[in-house]
Amino acid sequence: MYSADRKLFTLVSILIGIGIVLSYTLTPYTTLLFDVSQFHFVIRQSIFGLLGISIIFGLSQLNPDKWLKPIGLTLFAVSLILMIAMPFLPESVVSAVGGAKRWIKVAGFSLAPVEFFKVGFVYFLAWSFSRKLGHHDGMGLKNEFKRFLPYAVIFVMAMFIIAFLQKDIGQVVVLGATLLFMLMFAGSSFRFFFTILGGIFTAIVIFILTAHHRILRIKSWWALAQNSVLGLLPDSIADKLRVPVEVEPYQIGNSLNAIHNGGLFGTGLGDGTFKLGFLSEVHTDFVLAGLSEEFGFIGLLFVVFIFLWMIQRIFKIANRSEDMSIYLFSMGIGLVLSFEFLVNAYGISGITPIKGISVPFLSYGGSAMLGAAFGVGMVLMASKKAKMDKGKKL
- Residue 388: the pLDDT is 44
- Residue 35: the pLDDT is 86
15-22 average pLDDT score: 96
61-81 average pLDDT score: 93
73-88 average pLDDT score: 90
* Sequence-distant (≥ 6) Cβ neighbours of residue 325 within 8 angstroms: 126, 127, 129, 130, 131
In DSSP notation, 293-362 reads HHHHHHHHHHHHHHHHHHHHHHHHHHHH--SHHHHHHHHHHHHHHHHHHHHHHHHHTTSS----PPPTTT
Which of the four pLDDT bands, split at 50, 70 and 90, describes residue 203?
confident
Q: Are 363 and 285 in contact (CB under 8 A)?
A: yes
Nearest to 361 by CA among 111, 15, 112, 50: 15
Nearest to 83 by CA among 168, 162, 174: 162
- Residue 111: the pLDDT is 85
The answer on pLDDT for 10 being more than 90 is yes
Q: What is the mean pLDDT of the chain?
A: 84
Question: β-strand 100-106 against 94-97: which pairing, if any?
Answer: antiparallel
Taking only Cα atoms into account, the Rg of the chain, rounded to an integer number of angstroms, comes to: 21
- Residue 352: the pLDDT is 76
Which of the four pLDDT bands, split at 50, 70 and 90, describes residue 292?
very high
- Residue 384: the pLDDT is 85
Q: What does the alpha-carbon distance between residue 238 and residue 146 come to, in Å, rounded to a whole number? A: 43
Percent of the chain with pLDDT strictly greater than 90? 41
Beta-carbon count within 10 A of 363 CB: 23
Highest average pLDDT, of 204-218, 234-248, 313-327, comes from 313-327
